[in-house]
Amino acid sequence: MTSIEARAREITARYRGKEGVLVHILEDLQEEFGYLPEEALAVVAAERGLSLAEIYGVASFYARFYFTPRGKNIIRVCTGTACHVRGASRVLAKLEEGLGLKCGETSPDLKYTLETVSCVGCCALAPVVVVNERTQQVLDPGKVLSVLKKE
């Protein structure tokens, strides 16, 4: 048994005898591992008497669950209307170039994950980048990598 499987058994055991708790189990697994490893999902399926397809069906319904490891630093470029009009695509291009990543990718060293979001509600500051839940105004797309140094 791998350490992932062992830890998944411990987490799943907390919910033994309780119904309607699959999402809670998935949240706990993701909190533990940073994503939902297939090994852990297989344990949940076996322990809860569900098929792996059912587990994936529930987990893939929610945008907050991830099936691959994510970076320590999550970088989200806002692409909402105000940010789009004020140069979000240039900001994203500079980040992709500087990090060597495409949108939706995680660096091999698991340091960064780069993604876009529809709106973060800071339209007056547009364009903005959110790094680890901290919103940063990007006045000059050419200097966007300096935003990462603040984290």
Binding residues: 78, 83, 119, 123
Give the residue numbers of the binding site for [2Fe-2S] cluster: 78, 83, 119, 123
SS3 per residue for 52-96: HHHHHHHHHHCCCCCCCCCCCEEEEEECCHHHHHCCHHHHHHHHH
Describe the crossing of helices 22-33 and 52-61 by its angle, rounded to 10 degrees. 80
Summary count for the chain: helices (H), strands (E): 7, 4
Query: Residues 73, 98: contact at Cβ < 8 Å?
Result: no
Which tokens in the block code for residue 90? 């240039």
**CB within 8 Å of 98: residues ≥ 6 apart:** 144, 145
CA–CA separation, 151 vs 146, rounded Å?
A: 10
